[in-house]
Amino acid sequence: MTELEQLTRLCERLGAPPAQAATMAAQLAKRATQLAAERGVTREVAMTRLLELVTKGRGGEVPAEFAPPPVPPAT
């Protein structure tokens, strides 16, 4: 089974319809390659991070780096 097939199945298990899962899988694969080049990490490290974000997002969790800034107290 190819990486793309594995990613597609994962996206389907997370609830995406088959066509959308295939699109998401292709985007994940492409972005992992981009991140690896941009950040000087291995593609595996980049893919691991993306998959962590996908699974957290699916669960409704917002990682700290994506949380909105705190609202200042009213004066």
Tell me the C-alpha to C-alpha distance, in Å, between residue 28 and each of 23, 25, 71.
9, 5, 33
In a domain, 41, yes or no: yes
In a domain, 40, yes or no: yes
For residues 19 and 11, the answer to whether their CB atoms sit within 8 Å is: no
Residue 43 counted as domain residue: yes
Domain with 46 in it? 3-59
- Matching residue, tokens 């969790």: 61
Q: Is residue 32 part of a domain?
A: yes
Domain presence at residue 69: no
pLDDT value for 32: 97
pLDDT digits (tens, 9 = 90+) for 17-72: 999 999 999 999 999 999 999 999 999 999 999 999 999 888 888 888 888 888 88
Q: Give the total number of structural domains in the chain.
A: 1
pTM: 0.81
Measured between alpha carbons, how far is 28 from 49 in angstroms, rounded to an integer?
11
Instruction: Give the chain's mean pLDDT.
Output: 93
